Amino acid sequence: MSDIKPIENYGIHTAKDQPVLVLENITKTFPPAVTALDQVSFGIRKGEVHALCGENGAGKSTLMKVLAGIHQADGGQIFLEGRPVTLAGPMDAKHQGVLLIHQELSLVPEMTVAENIYLGNLPRKWPSRVDTKKLYADADAILKRLKCNFSARDKVSKLSIAKKHMVEIARALVFTPKIVVFDEPTASLTDTEKHVLFEVIRDLKSQGVAIAYISHRMDEIFALSDRITVLRDGNFRGTVDTNNTSEDEITRMMIGRSLEKTRNVAAGTFGEKVLEVKDLSCAGLFQEISFSIRKGEVVGMYGLVGAGRTEIAETLFGLREPTQGEILLDGESVTINSPTEAVRYGLALVPENRKEQGLVLGMSCRDNITLANLAAVTDGGVLKQSKELEIYDKYAEQLAIKSPSWAQRVGNLSGGNQQKVVIGKWLATHPKVLILDEPTRGIDVGSKSEIHKLIRELAKSGYAVLVISSEMPEVLGVSDRILALKDGRINGEFLDSEVTEDDLVKAISFDNASVQRAS
Amino acid sequence: MTSIGTKARHFVLEQPIWIFVVLCVVVFSLSSEHFLDIDNFKNILVQTSTIGLIALGLTFVMINGNIDLSVGAVVALAACLAVDLQTLGIFPAVLIGLASGVLLGALNGLIVWKTGVDAFIVTLGAMIGVRGLVFVYTEEQSFFATDFAYADFGISSVAGIPTLGLIFLAFALLMHCILSYTVHGRNIFAVGGNRQAAIDAGIRVGPHIVINFMLTGFFAALAGITLSTQMGAATPNLGRDFELWAITAVVLGGTKLTGGAGSIVGTFGGVVAIGVLRNGMNLLQVPSFYVLVIMGTILIAVLFIDKQVSRNKEQELKV
């Protein structure tokens, strides 16, 4: 380990530079033929935040599950504080000081915060009663340490997602953690909540706890971490000091090539207005939303979680009833009462949560694509295989869906390809307006730019596209025009060719940012 | 005072079935002069004790996220064993009856745990198979208790309260305490509420499942035995449809079919609701087939109202 240079920027002494955890040649295969991890080796030091990067499927989560005792490695050795250990199960790992904060929250909603914190480890009185007094006192003490403003007696189902994350972290502190593993902790957090989480992480770090941090988000990795380890296809690609590297270098290590930035072609001439929204309001959610989209144009809607973006999309799609305002399609005022009507009017909504709202995971690619427009593939009420295949082939080619065959279960595809199937499903309904809500959430970097390119191409071929996103590079990358949303109002409208990142941040953060009308 | 007020409000929201019970009692008291009578209430208590005992065990299994359809068949098996084997003495016969229930429960639980087959299927198989066993064992004959002490027990009272009713109340209290105050009780909620979370937290899910099926088997057997003491006899058709009534009572009491939520207090309310409804309609001389129609309707109506109430709660939270 002598080749690891001490990190100076936050003054850790040499004694502390001893890695608290070392992984040596960890291999994990899932029969029949998936090698999730292939001889991965690296070390995490005491009091450091060690980021773990890689595309989806690179093996990050598997590695962390091996660490947390959920999976057992097929080969290799884990060393904790210099001693070789086996982590036989989640409880064993916890007792040895390795704690995983789950990506999908692993809480029991109907139980209280304290019961969740001590789940599987409840304090007991004779003969096997729960020591309720101790339970709540101890839990409250931990919550206080984390500066949480909720009670240990609250039911978990009533907490916000951020608070649920705090409960997960609180759970880790029951044990004396040597290493805490965070798996995509910010995926569903707002900016403020994120900062609270970062503070907690830095606090843990200053107490000498080693942190392993998995994330897709470069800005977070660079803001938090001391070192970065990159995995690709289950292989270890290298560990670098955060201070001596750049986003480009990490990206290159992750995908083996550089990403080209798709900055948009100058706003061309668009067709006529396809969708126009006038003073649309929904009490308590958004107010006086007015905008329009032309044929061939991509409009980005940018704002924080909770700014009302998804709700606007849902209202357009007939899932919510507006309290006031007007929706015009091709210049005609329409009332959309249900998704069925929305589809008939030529709207398509690619939802935020593709696994829950967009796909039937157990069905084949072909069946998912024809799902929203079965009328087109039936003959007198009978499904025609040949027509179905025809439609599948058409969109598989147009969208470059990578699937071994049409019969492949959608659940087995990668996130990017799943998203393409959802888009294909909607294109098959021949829409005029395509609304995409967070089109690249949970999709790895490589596929992301592919989806972005696809969105540009779709616009070029004549769709009017609305892209809702909370990621600035995405909005900047795909839009011709950007609407900035704050607290349910449009707080700024910019042409992509003129806007700066600064403008956008101001427009979603401050109430009286200058509202520019760009159209 | 306010804390009592909020507690009461909390109780009503968590246990809407009790409002229904109170409503029924009021309506039946006004419409039948025989309803509001100590003896009638004792009667209801004894009548409900059979389904009630089964429902106690079933509540555990259902909070755990499983179901047990075999309880009706176990009722018949335990009753037949306990009555037929009285030549060995009442006490050993009853013990054998109870043991049969516990064993079958353990078997159900082990199969669910080890094979991963859905509990619905496993216990559906057990329900059919055990009923078959009962017919094999009895050769389609009914048994009559030879020892009069056995039948006397069924109609006995302690301090003016029917013994069978007392047994039910005592076990209800015990099960409530286990569910609310022990580690086992807490873990049942965890397993039913989020199985993966429970596994990740190091809870051994399997043993909890098996214990709950054993408890349900025990209570089904006990219900069969108490029922046979009431009649002084056991028939191979005893306990038919009991699984459905017990599930109805548990669900009326607010236990989720998907697991993770429920309470013995609620189940008790569900059992009482069914008992009061049956008894009241009997007194009003509603034809028995209509009683079934009304009960079915009420089951759906109560759950619909419950859903509306909890939906409102959710919306309040969102705003």
For chain A, the structural domain boundaries read: 19-254, 273-509
Question: Nearest CA of chain B to the CA of A163: how many Å?
Answer: 15
State the smallest CA–CA distance between residue B253 and chain A in angstroms: 16
Beta pairing partners, A490 = A485
| Å between B197 CA and nearest CA of chain A | 5
Rounded alpha-carbon distances, angstroms, from residue A158 to A172, A360, B313: 21, 29, 10
Pairwise CA distance, residues B188 & B210, whole Å:
11
Q: Are B130 and B238 in contact (CB under 8 A)?
A: no
Q: Are B163 and B157 in contact (CB under 8 A)?
A: yes
Query: A163 is written with which tokens?
Result: 């608070």
Beta carbons of A70 and A11 less than 8 angstroms apart: no
* Two domains, one topology: A19-254 and A273-509: yes
Q: Work out the angle between the directed axes of helices B205-231 and B38-63 (0-180°, nearest 10).
A: 160
- B56 touches B216 (CB < 8 A): no
Q: What average pLDDT does the segment A208-223 reach?
A: 86
Residue with tokens 């009326």: B252
8 Å CB contact of B198 and A132 = no
Nearest to B200 among A90, A128, A132 (CB): A90
Domain A273-509 CATH superfamily: P-loop containing nucleotide triphosphate hydrolases (3.40.50.300)
- Say what the pLDDT of residue A406 is: 87
Name the residue among A248, A210, A203 with its Cα closest to residue A226. Answer: A210
Considering just the CA atoms, what is the radius of gyration of chain B in Å?
20
Report CA B60 to chain centroid distance, whole Å: 10
A89 touches chain B (CB under 8 A): yes
Determine the number of helices (DSSP H) and then strands (DSSP E) in chain A. Answer: 16, 24
| pLDDT tens across the length of chain B (319 residues) | 456 777 777 777 778 888 889 999 999 999 988 898 899 999 999 999 999 999 999 999 999 999 999 999 999 999 999 999 999 999 999 999 999 999 999 999 999 999 999 999 999 999 999 999 999 999 999 999 888 889 899 889 998 899 999 999 999 999 999 999 999 999 999 999 888 888 877 788 999 999 999 999 999 999 999 999 999 999 999 999 999 999 999 999 989 888 888 999 999 999 999 999 999 999 999 998 998 899 899 888 888 877 776 655 544 443 3
User: B189 and A108: CB-CB below 8 Å?
Assistant: yes
Q: In order of start, what are the domains of chain B with their CATH numbers?
A: 36-307 (1.10.3470)
A91 touches chain B (CB under 8 A): yes
- Helix/strand/coil (H/E/C) assignment for every residue in A100-119: EECCCCCCCCCCEHHHHHCC
Range of weakest confidence among A360-369, A417-426, A507-516, B290-299: A507-516
**Given pLDDT bands bounded at 50, 70 and 90, which one contains residue A3?**
very low
Looking at the predicted structure, is the pLDDT value of residue A354 above 90?
A: no
A153 touches chain B (CB under 8 A): no
Q: How far does B79 lie from chain A, in Å, by closest CA?
A: 32
- C-beta atoms of B181 and A130 within 8 A: yes
pTM: 0.73
In the structure, what pLDDT confidence band is assigned to residue A57 with cuts at 50, 70 and 90? low
> Is B182 within 8 Å of A128 when comparing Cβ atoms?
yes
CB nearest B183 (choices: A70, A107, A128) = A128
Chain B contact set for A106 (CB, 8 A): 194, 196-197, 200-201
- Other CB atoms within 10 A of residue A265 CB: 11
Q: Say whether pLDDT at A10 is over 50.
A: no
β pairing state of A49-53 and A227-232 = parallel
Q: Evaluate if residue A192 carries a pLDDT over 90.
A: no
pLDDT of A14 reads 40
Q: What pLDDT score was predicted for residue A289?
A: 93
Nearest chain B CA: its distance from A107 CA (Å): 6
Q: Does B186 sit within 8 Å of A130, measured CB to CB?
A: yes
**Contact check, Cβ <8 Å, B181/A119:** no
Residue B318's pLDDT is what? 39
pLDDT at A4: 42
pLDDT 10s digits, A62-118: 888 888 888 888 888 999 988 899 888 888 888 888 988 876 678 888 899 999 999
d(CA A184, CA A186): 6
How far apart (Å, rounded) are the C-alpha atoms in residues B223 and B228? 9
Fold of A19-254: Rossmann fold (3.40.50)
Q: What are the chain B neighbours of A172 within 8 Å (beta carbons)?
A: none
Average pLDDT (A201-216) is 88
How many of the other CB atoms lie within 10 Å of CB of A488?
21
pLDDT at B172: 97
Complex prediction ipTM: 0.75
Distance separating the N- and C-terminal Cα atoms of chain A = 59
From the CA of A237, how many Å to the nearest CA of chain B? 30
Average pLDDT, chain A: 83
Parallel/antiparallel/unpaired status of strands A464-469 and A298-303: parallel
Q: Which residues pair with A302 in a beta bridge?
A: A469, A484
DSSP class of residue A410?
G
Contacts of A120 in chain B (CB under 8 A): 187, 190, 198, 201-203
- Inter-chain touch B190–A129, beta carbons under 8 Å: no
For chain B, say whether A70 makes contact (Cβ under 8 Å).
Answer: yes
Across the interface, of A70, A92, A109, the residue whose CB is closest to B200 is: A70
| CB < 8 Å to B181, chain A | 129-130, 132
What pairs with residue A181 in β-bridges? A100, A212
More confident residue, A232 or B136: B136
Among partner residues A102, A110, A129, which is closest to B189 by beta-carbon distance? A110
Q: What is the DSSP letter of A356?
A: I
CB of A94 within 8 Å of any CB in chain B? Answer: yes
CA–CA separation, A39 and A105 (whole Å): 29
For the stretch B43-47, contacts whose Cβ atoms lie closer than 8 Å and that sit 24 or more positions apart, written own/partner, are B43/B279, B44/B272, B44/B275, B44/B276, B44/B279, B45/B161, B45/B162, B45/B164, B45/B165, B45/B168, B45/B169, B45/B275, B46/B162, B46/B164, B46/B165, B46/B230, B47/B275, B47/B278, B47/B279
Give the residue from chain A lying closest to B199, CA to CA.
Answer: A90
How far apart are the C-alpha atoms of B9 and B3, rounded to whole Å?
10
Q: Hey, what are A323's tokens?
A: 């309290």
CB pair distance less than 8 Å for B201 and A119? yes
| Alpha-carbon gap: B199 to the closest alpha carbon of chain A (Å) | 8
Mean pLDDT for the stretch of residues A11-39: 71
Tokens 């040649």 locate to A25
Residue B219, min C-alpha distance to chain A (Å): 21
Nearest CA-CA distance, residue A284 and chain B, Å = 8
For chain A, how big is the Rg over CA atoms in Å?
A: 25
List the single residue in A106, A115, A120 with the smallest CB-CB distance to B196.
A106
Residues of chain A found within 8 Å of residue B198, distances taken between Cβ atoms? 108, 119-120
A-chain CB neighbours of B197 within 8 Å are 106-108, 116, 119
Least trusted range by pLDDT, from A203-207, A276-280, B234-238: A203-207
pLDDT score of A103:
65
How confident is the model over A438-452, as a mean pLDDT? 81
Please, where are the H alpha helices in A96-234? 113-117, 132-145, 161-173, 191-206, 218-224
**How is residue A490 written in tokens?**
């449009």
Contact yes or no for A227/A240 (Cβ under 8 A): yes
Lookup result for tokens 């619909």: B304
Residue A518: burial class (beta carbons within 10 Å; 0-12, 13-18, 19+)? middle
**Higher per-residue confidence, A352 vs A51:** A51
